[in-house]
Every structure is written in C-alpha cells, then in structure tokens.
C-alpha cells in the first residue's frame, strides 16, 4: 500500500500551519507486521523525528523505526506558536538551586546553541520552515510588569547572563521593536527564531526517511513494555509488536494515554488564532520588522509572531484542564478563549480590530508536576523518554533528540551531563485533586493579572499559585 492523500477534513483547519503547507499531506502506510529493530521511537512529533535524525546520522547502520498514531506533526509540533527559543521550562534560578550555578549556565548555553542548530539542520535537510532569528521581545505594559521584567534581568545578571543574551529595554527602545499599546519597557533576547511549525515537522519526516528511517503512520502504540531479565522492550500496536534494544517514548501530551502513565504529565490546552495577511501600513505601526516573536509580562502566558506572509499568529493559555487528563479533538476549539485571544490581540494592536480571523485552533502541551523538562534512558528497561516541555518544545525537542542519540549510542558528550538528563518527575495528584488544582491555578493567574492591571503592583496571589503554573 502506497502513501495516500489525506482528505480535507483529516487535516484542514487543524491549524494555520497545516493549511499553509506547500504540498498536500499524504499519509504513509502503517506498520505491516511484527518487527525487530535496534530503536523504536513512539511518536512522530519533533522529539521523535529529531531523535531519529540524529541516530541515523550517528550510526547509519542502526535499524530505526518511528511509530505514529496519526500523521507526522499531528500534535503540538504542527500547531504551536512557532517560537524556536532558548526558553527552558525550569528557570535558571530553579536549576541553579537544584544543580548549581554552573549547571544552570551550561543549560542556558545549550538552549541558546540549539536555536542555531535547528536553523542549520533545517537548511542542511532542505526544509524551508521560514526560519527567522529575530529574537523575543516581552513587553511590560503596566507597572507590575515593569517590576517583574527588571527583576528577571537582575536575576539573570546574578547568574552571569550578559546583555548580549538578555537586556532590559526602556520604553522608547521597546516601542522601536513592538508598536503595541501601553509599552513601558520590555525584555529582549536575540535567542529565538520564528518558524512555520508544520513545514518543519513535515520536512523532518521526509528528511528522516531519506536517511533510512522507517516511519509508520496510522499506527497507535497501545503500550510500551519495559525490557529486563533477558527480554527486550516492546512497543505494542494494533498492527503488531515492535521489539527493540531501546524504545523511545516521545508522545508528550499524549503520554497519559499509555498504561501506567496517567499521572506522568498533565495535558493542558493552549489555543491560537491567526489573522488574514496584514498590509504594510499595519506593519509600519506594529513593528516586528525582524519577525521578533512577542509576548508581554502578564502571568497567564500569551505569545505571538509575525508570519512570513504577514499575518499575526497569536495564542495563549486559559483553556481549562480536562478531568482525567482527557484528550479530544473537540477541546481544540473553545469559543470563549478564542474570543478572549482576539480581544487581547486588539488590545495590543488596535489597528488589527477589523482584521479577519482566518484560523482558530488549539492543542495540548505536556506539563510535568515540577515544571521541568526531562530526557533520559533507563538502561535496565531499555526505555528512553523526553518531554515535559511546557510549551517550549520547538527547540528543546532538538536538544532532546541529540541527547537521546548520544545516550542510545553510548557517546560521552557534554549533552549527556546537562542537568535535565535523567531527571524524574514527581507524579501529579490523583483526580479530582489534579482537576481542581490546575484549574484553580489557571483562574487564579487570570485574577492576578486583572488585579495587577487595576492596582499597578505585583500580585501576592500569583506568587502563591506559581508552583502549579511554572514558578519557582
């Protein structure tokens, strides 16, 4: 059976990015039968595809297969905000407290280098993913946000981060980069590129196949069985069982669907909208000339980019966590959250008020209980993993793929000594505590933002709730 073209209902509308791919999406054949390989990768998102790429480069003789329930890039890899950034889920301060300041500095350096590695790798594989390294500007649009931004920069200086990597911009310098309303200043880092996420994901899928990796789509993995006592680990699918020396779990927000993983990661939805292409008059006022990715310094995250074809692609949190870590296509749409995103976008850029919103979509991100991404290989069981990116996965997945390739092949490298390697997540609370806690924290952060806007000073509530939503 050869590849088949997907019907319009099977991927159209999944995101702006899917709808602006240059070629029709074609589904690859599924797993034909039981199989024995060297490495089985579960999931054809960025993590799985980068891992397969670097394994094939490290040792072309390795028999590597990638198993995907839908099509490559179906999950967060084809729906995200397109920030290829040096942001890591755990802050420098948290890493320094746990592992020491040197480890925190090495992690930051690795993430910064990874931004360039993604661009270089895409170019090497002929992937036109609209990579534009314009950095990130995070606007302070109220007195409390100014305090928070300056504190972030001051903390970075204490850990040895220079102005070349993170700087505070006064109001004038900030407005030169982003022509949003009420900008009182901003933080700016050059270590971020805007990308077209689905172009990157689909291009990677083609690239790994050219390197000899077998990619089977339409093949949901029902269970990962650890090895031990002479048994090899297995990826069990409805189409057959794949036995390997190493099985890599790379399904991020879908991790809770696997047996034994219900409380490993919490899938929390992030939603996005996109405008029609906007004219030169709009962009002359709005700025973002280098295609800087942008946000502001509120508690409930927002994020945006100027796309290569002149749209605003804009997203944020605020959608509820669903009881029992439920994942359903219907959750990709939430009319009230999408409308709130539109209002926020117009608040930032009033000239976009009459712009047509052409796309509304969403998808889940994987949240670990301690808000720290992890990568590792348990040699006793033969099971490797990477994930918990908290929405910062476009670049972190590349670092994960390179690290997993080194771990699997036994290469001693600087990557395998980074502080996130081998990190074990604490389990999330059982239901209904998980549902109550996450949703209370989401609502609390929205309240904290409203309070700060009205009172002009940092919210004590946000500091109390930050442990659930990424704070230290």
Residue 55 lies in a domain: yes
Q: Is the pTM of this model over 0.85?
A: yes
Q: Which two tokens stand for residue 342?
A: 């539109």
pLDDT, tens digit (0-9, with 9 covering 90-100), for 83-107: 999 999 999 999 999 999 999 999 9
Is the domain of 388 the same as that of 358? Answer: no
- Domain boundary, last residue among 338, 367, 396: 367
Residue 463 lies in a domain: no
> Residue 58 belongs to what domain range?
4-80+197-265+370-417
**Rounded Cα distance, 434 and 97, in Å:** 26
> Burial level of 74, CB count in 10 A (0-12/13-18/19+)?
buried
**Rounded Cα distance, 346 and 332, in Å:** 22
Question: How many domains, in total, are found in the chain?
Answer: 2
pLDDT, tens digit (0-9, with 9 covering 90-100), for 342-389: 999 999 999 999 999 999 999 999 999 999 999 999 999 999 999 999
**Rounded Cα distance, 211 and 55, in Å:** 10
Is the domain of 213 the same as that of 66? Answer: yes
Is the domain of 363 the same as that of 314? Answer: yes
Is the domain of 242 the same as that of 355? Answer: no
Number of other CB atoms surrounding residue 260 within 10 Å: 10
Q: How many CA atoms lie within 13 A of 6 on its CB side?
A: 22
Q: Give the SS3 label for residue 373.
A: coil
- Domain boundary, last residue among 395, 417, 439: 417
**Rounded Cα distance, 62 and 124, in Å:** 21
Is the domain of 150 the same as that of 185? Answer: yes
The answer, yes or no, to whether residue 470 has pLDDT greater than 70, is no
pLDDT, tens digit (0-9, with 9 covering 90-100), for 275-292: 999 999 999 999 999 999
Residue 135 is classified by DSSP as -
Residue 457 lies in a domain: no
The answer, yes or no, to whether residue 50 has pLDDT greater than 80, is yes
The CATH number covering residue 377 comes to: 3.50.50.60
Query: Across residues 1-6, what is the average pLDDT?
Result: 45
């Amino acid at each position: 059976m050869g590849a088949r073209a997907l019907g319009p209902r099977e991927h159209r509308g999944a995101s702006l990015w899917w709808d602006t791919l240059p070629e029709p999406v074609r589904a690859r054949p599924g797993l034909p039968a039981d199989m024995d390989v060297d490495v089985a990768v579960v999931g054809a998102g960025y993590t799985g595809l980068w891992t397969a790429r670097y394994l094939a480069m490290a040792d072309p003789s390795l028999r590597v297969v990638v198993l995907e329930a839908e099509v490559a890039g179906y999950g967060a890899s084809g729906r995200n905000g397109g920030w290829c950034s040096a942001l890591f889920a755990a802050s420098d301060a948290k890493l320094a407290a746990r592992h020491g300041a040197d480890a925190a500095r090495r992690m930051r350096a690795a993430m910064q280098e990874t931004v360039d590695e993604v661009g270089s790798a895409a170019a090497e594989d002929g992937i036109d993913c609209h990579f534009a390294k314009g950095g990130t500007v995070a606007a302070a649009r109220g007195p409390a946000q100014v305090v928070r931004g300056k504190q972030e920069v001051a903390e970075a200086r204490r850990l040895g981060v220079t102005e070349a990597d993170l700087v505070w911009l006064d109001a004038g310098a900030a407005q030169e980069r982003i022509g949003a309303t009420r900008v009182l200043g901003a933080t700016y880092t050059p270590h971020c590129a805007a990308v077209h996420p689905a172009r990157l994901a689909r291009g990677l899928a083609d690239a790994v196949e050219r390197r000899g990796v077998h990619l089977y789509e339409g093949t949901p993995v029902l269970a990962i069985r650890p090895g031990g006592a002479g048994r090899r680990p297995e990826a069990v699918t409805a189409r057959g069982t794949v036995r390997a020396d190493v099985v890599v779990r790379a399904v991020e927000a879908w991790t809770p669907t696997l047996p034994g993983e219900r409380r490993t990661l919490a899938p929390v939805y992030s939603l996005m909208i996109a405008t029609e292409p906007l004219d030169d008059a709009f962009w002359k006022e709005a700025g973002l000339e280098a295609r800087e990715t942008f946000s502001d310094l509120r508690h409930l995250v927002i994020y945006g980019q100027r796309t290569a074809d002149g749209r605003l692609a804009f997203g944020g949190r605020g959608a509820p966590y669903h009881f029992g870590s439920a994942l359903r296509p219907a959750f990709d749409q939430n009319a009230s959250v999408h409308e709130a995103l539109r209002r926020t976008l117009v608040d930032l850029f009033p000239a976009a008020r009459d712009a047509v919103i052409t796309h509304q979509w969403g998808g889940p991100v994987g949240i670990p209980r301690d808000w720290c991404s992890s990568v590792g290989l348990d040699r006793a069981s033969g099971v490797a993993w990477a994930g918990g990116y908290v929405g910062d996965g476009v670049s972190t997945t590349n670092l994960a793929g390179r690290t997993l390739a080194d771990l699997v092949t036994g290469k001693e490298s600087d990557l395998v000594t980074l502080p996130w390697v081998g990190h074990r997540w604490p389990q999330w609370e059982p239901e209904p505590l998980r549902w109550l806690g996450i949703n209370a924290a989401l609502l609390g952060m929205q309240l904290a933002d409203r309070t700060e806007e009205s009172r002009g000073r940092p919210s004590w509530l946000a500091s109390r709730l930050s442990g659930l939503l990424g704070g230290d």
